Amino acid sequence: MLGEKFSEIIEKNEDFLKKSDLIYGIANGRFLEKISKDDSLKSFDEIKSCLKIYKRLLLPIDTEILSSINSQKRLAMHYATRNVEITEYGEILMQKVEQSIVNLPEEEQLPIIIESFNSFVSWIYEKALKRLGGETQKILNTLQKILSLNREVAAKLNIYNTFLETLVSRIPQKGIQQLYLDYLEETVESRTSQLKQIQKHLVEAERMAAIGEAVTMIGHDVRNPLQVIFNTLYLGMKKIDGMKVSSEEKKHLKTLLEKIHNQADYINRMILDLQDYTKGVTPELAKLDLHKLLKEALSSITIPEKINVTLKVENGFPKILADPIMMKRVLINLTKNAIEAMPEGGEIRISTSVKESNAIIEVEDTGIGIPKENINEIFRPFFTTKPKGLGLGLAVCKKLIEAQGGEISVESEIRKGAKFKIKIPIAKGTLQRSDRETTEEDSS
- pLDDT for 113-164, tens place per residue? 998 888 888 888 888 887 766 677 888 888 888 888 888 888 888 887 778 7
What pLDDT score was predicted for residue 435?
44
Are the beta carbons of 421 and 409 closer than 8 angstroms?
yes
Cα–Cα distance, 418 to 413 (Å, whole number):
7
Angle between helices 136-149 and 46-58 (to 10 degrees): 160
Is the pLDDT at 439 greater than 60, yes or no? no
Is the pLDDT at 409 greater than 70, yes or no? yes
203 confidence band (pLDDT: 50, 70, 90): confident
In 248-333, which ranges are E strands? 286-288, 307-314, 320-322
Q: Where are the alpha helices (DSSP H) in 314-392?
A: 324-340
1 confidence band (pLDDT: 50, 70, 90): very low
Cα–Cα distance, 260 to 303 (Å, whole number):
17
C-alpha distance across the termini of the chain, in Å:
71
Is the pLDDT at 366 greater than 90, yes or no? yes
Is the pLDDT at 215 greater than 80, yes or no? no
Write out pLDDT tens, residues 295-308: 999 988 889 989 99
Are the beta carbons of 146 and 164 closer than 8 angstroms?
no
Q: What percent of the chain has pLDDT over 90?
A: 23
CA 300-358-420 angle, 5° bins: 50
Are the beta carbons of 402 and 276 closer than 8 angstroms?
no
Cα–Cα distance, 310 to 298 (Å, whole number):
11
Q: Which of 9-23, 114-128, 174-188 has the lowest mean pLDDT?
A: 174-188
Q: How are beta strands 92-93 and 407-413 bridged, if at all?
A: unpaired
Write out pLDDT tens, residues 304-321: 989 999 999 877 889 999
